[in-house]
Structure 1
């Protein structure tokens, strides 16, 4: 089969378009003919050997796919040949076929295009878990989203609005902020041009924000933490700018606030039933038109390394998707 191959750890330009052996379904697995694969920040980390999960070389990146079942392993009763599914494979998705454990596979809702399905789990799954399960965001609260025009950030803006919060979107350009406005942000901050902490205080009348959603890290973390309200909740989602934040620990004390880690991948494994419930709710909202993924660009399989580079360069608006023509 054709695939994007990581033969040695490195940056996207080191990836190779070539051939890998077709996967076989082990017990409790299915093989999916991949139609689309979402592009996510963990894909950038995994090829550099910087992610929590470390597959053996060689491998294909790509962690969320949609397609149809072409082989079922021993003990599989939930799925049959020809079923349309979406799945969390972790890696292996930038390929024509991938084998996935059945506890990481979900039926594709009728009428939902594979390109939309394959860009839903990571971003909306992460953001919904963060806002609902970790922060327990309440209607009427104020939510600040950093990196708000990226995949998880834009999902957080949209879900925050749907959950009844007053959403402040922070990003690095007017183009990105305009997109956030379309997705439901009430206020915006250009943190390349404006002082983040001071602007938070201005927009909240000095109170600060109740919840901070931070997939960016770096210098923005401390500034946002200084702009949090009493008993606020700070969500550590990731470090897209490449720098793990160093937080002065007197700030949580003075703010009476909580700092919460958001590791959706582990949550979806350790609390699988709760994760399934979240995903069912997200699928319902998508079918009802209450949330809608913004796909910034579609890529061919050969172009997948370009998609990863766009994430590194912070040029991806919303989500990218690799579309595989079989």
Structure 2
């Protein structure tokens, strides 16, 4: 089978290779999944560069997310069937043609969703939903301030705001994306090139600042979000795109009783019960099916063209996922 591998950490376009390796076989209580679709996420590229919170032993196959069809079942499997579309969780890298996972870690996908949306159902929709509803518990009518608002998670936050009744203040780097986000339902938009973020947020909130903020950038952008928190406000840091540290004035934390907290989807799954995981996916599948959390697709590349695909994924000229297929 074909597998994308890397034997050293580095720039993805330089270190990734496509190799032919033996396909795995399912053991007892396992299923063999033929992976059909794999999105390229920033977290995948951080892993390849050696900059992620958990790194594999090398050589390794990247890829946290994908969807495929069960093509083999091991002894004792009674609740999964050949031909079933599933999301394989916990597989050691999905940028290959076949993976083996425990049967109960192969999440069945409703027929109305399809493999493209199934392949992108885990990382971004779950991140947006869990941060907003479980960790922050955003109340209707409140403001949520976020940077990287044109990212897929940012777009999901905007859509969930409409569904759950809160309002968003959306910070972007490029003014040309603002009309698209406005059409998506963004309440307020701030281009970092044109405006002072903290001053604009305070103007929008009557000088109070916001109770909730989501930072996926870090550096100066994340620091501006932190400075926009009001009394008792909380900012979740769930990404570090800039690769730069936050600068936080201690008085902001002290006198406003504000807090800044890291948030990682991996930790949620490590601590979740099977029932919580089942409930999460039932919720996400419903929101995907009704269009609330639909992920736009920017381009598709065959698995063999992975180097071109990772370059395209980092250009960010279009809002949407770059997929590896085949």
Question: 2:5 matched to which residue of 1?
Answer: 5
C-alpha deviations, 1:280-310, integer Å up to 9, x for none? 1111122223332122222221333344334
Aligned-partner Cα distance in 2 for 1:240–1:306: 21
Question: 1:234 matched to which residue of 2?
Answer: 235
**Secondary structure of the structure 2 residue equivalent to 1:64:** coil
Retained in 2: the 8 A contact 1:65–1:89?
Answer: no
- Which blocks of at least 5 consecutive residues in structure 1 are unaligned? none
Measure how far apart 1:19 and its partner are. Answer: 1.6
Question: 2:192 matched to which residue of 1?
Answer: 191
Q: Does 1:135 align with 2:136?
A: yes
Q: Does 1:288 align with 2:290?
A: yes
Answer with 199-208 or 302-311: which moved more: 302-311
Retained in 1: the 8 A contact 2:5–2:60?
Answer: yes
Answer with 265-274 or 173-182: which moved more: 173-182
Count of paired positions: 324
Aligned-partner Cα distance in 1 for 2:316–2:243: 11
User: What is the TM-score with the length of structure 1 in the denominator?
Assistant: 0.91
Question: 1:319 matched to which residue of 2?
Answer: 321
Aligned-partner Cα distance in 2 for 1:111–1:256: 46
Q: Kindly report the root-mean-square deviation, in angstroms, between the aligned alpha carbons of the 2 structures.
A: 2.0
Retained in 2: the 8 A contact 1:39–1:119?
Answer: no
Aligned-partner Cα distance in 1 for 2:178–2:100: 39
**Secondary structure of the structure 1 residue equivalent to 2:127:** helix
Answer with 53-62 or 244-253: which moved more: 244-253
Q: Does 1:216 align with 2:204?
A: no
C-alpha deviations, 1:236-280, integer Å up to 9, x for none? 111012224243333222222232221112211211332331221
Distance 1:4 1:188, change over 3 A: same
- Which blocks of at least 5 consecutive residues in structure 2 are unaligned? none
- What does 1:79-228 align with in structure 2 at a 5 Å threshold? 79-89=80-90, 91-228=92-229
Retained in 2: the 8 A contact 1:65–1:87?
Answer: yes
Retained in 2: the 8 A contact 1:233–1:257?
Answer: yes
Measure how far apart 1:148 and its partner are. Answer: 1.0
Measure how far apart 1:103 and its partner are. Answer: 4.3
**Secondary structure of the structure 1 residue equivalent to 2:55:** coil
Retained in 1: the 8 A contact 2:216–2:222?
Answer: no
User: What is the TM-score with the length of structure 2 in the denominator?
Assistant: 0.91
Measure how far apart 1:180 and its partner are. Answer: 2.1
Distance 1:269 1:180, change over 3 A: same
Retained in 2: the 8 A contact 1:30–1:71?
Answer: yes
**Secondary structure of the structure 2 residue equivalent to 1:94:** coil
